[in-house]
């Protein structure tokens, strides 16, 4: 079932999760153990992140050697395994960076074969490796280009026009939104204009970057509606569990940590950081639910323990 269908049919706000594939060569059973603990909360869908290739440099007796590899492959396989094992819909992330349009089309064909109906279209983080595009092939530079390619396949238009048995796919397309604006945008207004382009091109819903101040989400939704964006805007939350995240999260995700939360964590012993983060997230969830959000999306990666405590406090 599509994410938008889950939202339309839900009698109360949906709870969904986002997980990360195991490291290259890792065991998927660890991921399954995480999902085993999540299924009691009846998530209608689970997102699985995707990761492009990166470069590692190793010093050897012959000099510095460059190794190019994907540290976390397997997004499509994991999505298929979750769908088959748990009968839960999955949302694989598809990236622009690191993949050609031809590779993207192949991935979409495979997902369509597997009966996976949802895609989150993402440009992808800038890595230390820029994959060369082979002669005669092309790539999607921005998320709106990736959305356009998916929409074309939904209309039966593939990169090659001479496909005899080409069928129209029917993917539900999600895109990211940034309540504190994307770091490359000059301001939030311009950023929402770019977001509107993705919706007008064919995206069906928005899931936001993590935020720790609900006011930013409410203002973001207000500005979206004023700009003509009427698709669901799902708030994305992350639990702050370690003291070093006060600096790493703003650095990696270009977000602000509210003064009250930062000061409480800085003054407390490191052992109490997760408890403080959990209590903060509980307050966020309560306020969001009281304001009739369509869903709440948790960025858990592979750490399920804070979720169990949050839901216990919320009596979910």
**pLDDT tens-place string over residues 137-191:** 788 999 999 999 999 999 999 998 766 677 899 999 999 999 999 999 999 999 9
Return the H-helix or E-strand segment holding 192.
Answer: helix 188-201
Weakest mean pLDDT among 55-69, 81-95, 134-148, 295-309: 55-69
CA angle 118-124-128, nearest 5°? 150
* Tokens found for residue 166: 């080409």
Inform me whether the pLDDT recorded for 26 exceeds 90: no
- Examine the pLDDT at 52 and tell me if it is beyond 90: no
Q: Which CATH architecture has domain 3-314?
A: Alpha-Beta Barrel (3.20)
Q: What is the pLDDT of residue 302?
A: 86
Model pLDDT for residues 28-48, shown as the tens digit of each residue = 898 999 999 999 899 999 999
Give long-range contacts, CB 8 A cutoff, 24+ apart: 276-279: 276/240, 277/239, 277/240, 277/241, 277/306, 278/239, 278/306, 278/309, 278/310, 278/313, 279/313
Please tell me the distance from the alpha carbon of residue 252 to that of residue 255, in angstroms, as a whole number.
8
- Compare 13 and 73 and report the one with higher pLDDT: 13
pTM as predicted: 0.92
pLDDT band at 98 (very low <50, low <70, confident <90, very high): confident
Kindly list the domain boundaries of the chain, sorted by start residue: 3-314
């Amino acid at each position: 079932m599509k994410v938008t269908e889950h939202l339309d049919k839900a009698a109360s706000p949906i709870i969904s999760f986002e997980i990360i594939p195991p490291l290259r060569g890792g065991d998927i059973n660890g991921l399954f153990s995480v999902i085993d603990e999540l299924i009691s909360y009846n998530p209608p869908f689970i997102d699985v992140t995707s990761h492009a290739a990166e470069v590692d440099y190793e010093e050897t007796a012959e000099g510095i050697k460059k190794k190019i590899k994907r540290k976390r492959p397997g997004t499509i396989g994991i999505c298929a395994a979750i769908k088959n094992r748990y009968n839960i819909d999955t949302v694989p992330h598809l990236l622009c960076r690191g993949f050609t349009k031809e590779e993207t089309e192949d991935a979409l064909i495979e997902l369509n074969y597997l009966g996976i109906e949802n895609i989150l279209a993402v440009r992808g983080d800038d890595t230390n490796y820029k994959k060369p595009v082979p002669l005669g092939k092309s790539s999607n530079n921005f998320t709106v280009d990736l959305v356009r390619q998916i929409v074309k396949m939904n209309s039966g238009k593939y990169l090659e026009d001479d496909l005899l048995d080409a069928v129209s796919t029917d993917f539900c397309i999600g895109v990211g939104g940034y309540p504190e604006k994307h770091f490359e945008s000059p301001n939030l207004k311009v950023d929402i204009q770019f977001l509107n382009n993705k919706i007008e091109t064919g995206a069906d819903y928005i899931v936001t970057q993590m935020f720790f101040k609900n006011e930013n989400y409410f203002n973001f939704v207000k500005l979206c509606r004023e700009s003509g964006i009427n698709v669901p805007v799902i708030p994305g939350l992350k639990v702050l569990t370690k003291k070093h995240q006060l600096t790493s999260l703003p650095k990696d995700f270009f977000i602000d940590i509210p003064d009250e939360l930062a000061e409480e964590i800085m003054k407390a012993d490191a052992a109490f950081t997760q408890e403080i983060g959990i209590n903060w997230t509980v307050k966020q969830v309560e306020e969001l639910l009281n304001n009739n959000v369509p869903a709440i999306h948790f960025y858990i990666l592979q750490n399920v323990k804070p979720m169990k405590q949050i839901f216990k406090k919320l009596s979910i």
